[in-house]
Amino acid sequence: MTVRTRFAPSPTGYLHVGGARTALFSWLHARRHGGTFVLRVEDTDLERSTAESVNAILEGMTWLGLEYDEGPLFQTERFDRYQEVIDGLLEQGHAYRCDCPRERLDVLRAKQMERKEKPKYDGHCRTRDIDPTTPHVIRFRTPIEGTVGFDDMIRGRVTWENSELDDLVIRKSDGSPTYNLAVVVDDLDMRISHVIRGEDHVSNTPRQVHIFRALGAHVPVFAHVPMILGDDGARLSKRHGAVSVMQYREEGILPEALLNYLVRLGWSHGDQEIFSVDEMVALFDLESVNKSASTFNTDKLLWLNQHYITQADPAHLARELSWHLGQLGIDPSDGPELIEVVRAQQGRAKTLVELAAISAFFYRDPADYDAKAAKKHFKAAALEPLSRAREALAGLASWTPEVLHALVEGVAAELEVGMGKIAQPLRVAVSGRAATPGIDVTLDLVGRDACLRRIDRALDYIREQAESAV
């Protein structure tokens, strides 16, 4: 079988993590089997679909690296094709017109619920001859007897009694197709072999199987992915924190970390936790996806993200970090080479937001000093070692980490104090904080002019504190 999968979001909002996981599973299945991955935008809901949502979905797919082989294809560009299929179903007796007013349907539903019956259309118009020029919908003629079923790659055999189903509307009174009709025609025309989607679509599947069969078409293989829950056991939603893919970018998550986390939500390969994209492609198997729901754990995602930050190629990490520095109003081209900053800071943060925050001082003077750091390292006793260090730094002919390290050691030896008595006041002076990379690397990357300017400011600060204490 030639494998063709699709991801078919509705552009009524952002790309959420549940959709991203479905897209990932579909993408992996196609890649593992040398198949084709199609992106289809299901925008038949004209009132809710927006161009902004389309852009948000495309942006999320691009950021995650889930490149598609075909698409994006839009349902709104295929209305003529849907009407052609609907006309065929009418001609063959698989569909019929229905002019039941809303009031009749509301009464019917209310009476069924009173009797504790499952609400469904009663087939009132099945044998009626409806004038096509009057307002009406078109319904699919669902078989009344027997069962309908399919083999789900995740859930196993799933069956329904046809008597539980009703004659669903396949074209609205305004002429637009409904979801269940459009999705079948799309999957048929796009030769989709495997439909991988969320389990909320399970109830739609028997209806779609009936339409495939009415069209004389081969029914694709289905795989319904279980939902994602928050840590409280409820379905994942905004109240659990970030659910939009691009919001995770804003919060400093690397795309490869999010992909690794998403693939492990419901799928496993032994005890392995870390998967490169190549390993995912080689190992992923739909039949190994769990039937039960998965729980989203933010701490686990942060653990993975820290791993990926620590292990990332510095050039790649610099590209991702550049965007976050831009969010702080920093142009990383105006300062030290960003890749060198990344090499110095790589193991010091769980997120890119943290990494940007602790790296900002390389590009701009700190607005203030960390209170604890200043209280500990900016006492009056720090004036002499900081002044000596400033004088020695101003006289350097060469500004390299090796020379800077030797200078700090030399000042400490001259004053007969530990190296920390020199390095820590220097560190707080140039960065505003007590924790930075090695003092030699820190001074080197900040640069001569910025270091001297910041030390002068720190000396003034210490003198003012000393005077106010008298």
Average pLDDT for runs of 10 along the chain of length 470: 95 91 98 98 87 94 97 96 98 98 96 94 96 96 96 96 96 95 98 96 97 97 94 73 84 97 95 96 96 93 97 96 97 96 96 98 96 96 96 96 97 95 97 96 98 98 86
Residue 407 contacts by C-beta under 8 Å, 6 or more apart in sequence?
389, 392, 393, 396
Classify burial at 250, counting beta carbons within 10 Å of its beta carbon; exposed 0-12, middle 13-18, buried 19 or more. middle
Number of Cα atoms under 13 Å in the Cβ half of residue 241: 13
Classify burial at 365, counting beta carbons within 10 Å of its beta carbon; exposed 0-12, middle 13-18, buried 19 or more. middle
Distance (Å, whole) CA 97 – CA 125: 7
DSSP per-residue string spanning 388-457? HHHHHHHT-S---HHHHHHHHHHHHHHHT--HHHHHHHHHHHHHSSS--S-HHHHHHHH-HHHHHHHHHH
Structure token pair of residue 259: 């992909």
116 classed as catalytic: no
Q: What's the distance, CA 164 to chain centroid?
A: 37
pTM to 2 decimals? 0.91
Distances (CA, A) of 172 to 89, 131, 197, 363, 384: 15, 16, 25, 59, 83
Residues 63-74 as b or e (16 or more Cβ within 10 Å = b):
bbebebeebbbe
Distance (Å, whole) CA 427 – CA 441: 11
Q: What's the distance, CA 372 to chain centroid?
A: 37
Q: What's the distance, CA 253 to chain centroid?
A: 9
* DSSP symbol at 77: G
Phi-psi category of residue 230: left, alpha or beta, with phi > 0 → left and psi -120 to 50 → alpha: beta
Provide the 10 A C-beta neighbour count for residue 406.
12
244 forms bridges with which residues in the sheet?
Answer: 16
Edge-to-edge strands, sheet with 221-225: 70-74, 36-41, 4-7, 194-198, 221-225, 147-152, 156-161
The pLDDT, as a whole number, for residue 13 is 86
* Cβ contact 173:134 at 8 Å: no
Helix, strand, or coil here: 52? helix
Q: Are strands 137-140 and 95-98 parallel, antiparallel or unpaired?
A: antiparallel
**At 174, which amino acid appears?**
D
DSSP per-residue string spanning 188-255? HHTT--EEEEEGGGGGGHHHHHHHHHHTTPPPPEEEEEPPEE-TTSSBP-GGGS--BHHHHHHTT--H
Beta-strand ranges (E) seen in 45-155 are 70-74, 95-98, 137-140, 147-152
* Cβ contact 10:43 at 8 Å: yes
Helix, strand, or coil here: 169? strand
The pLDDT, as a whole number, for residue 239 is 63
Angle at 130 between CA 125 and CA 134, to 5 degrees: 125
Distance (Å, whole) CA 340 – CA 350: 19
The one catalytic residue in 118, 238, 372, 375 is 238
* Cα dihedral sign, 139-141-144-145: negative
Phi, psi dihedral angles at 73 (to 5 degrees): -105, 135
* Cβ contact 30:2 at 8 Å: no
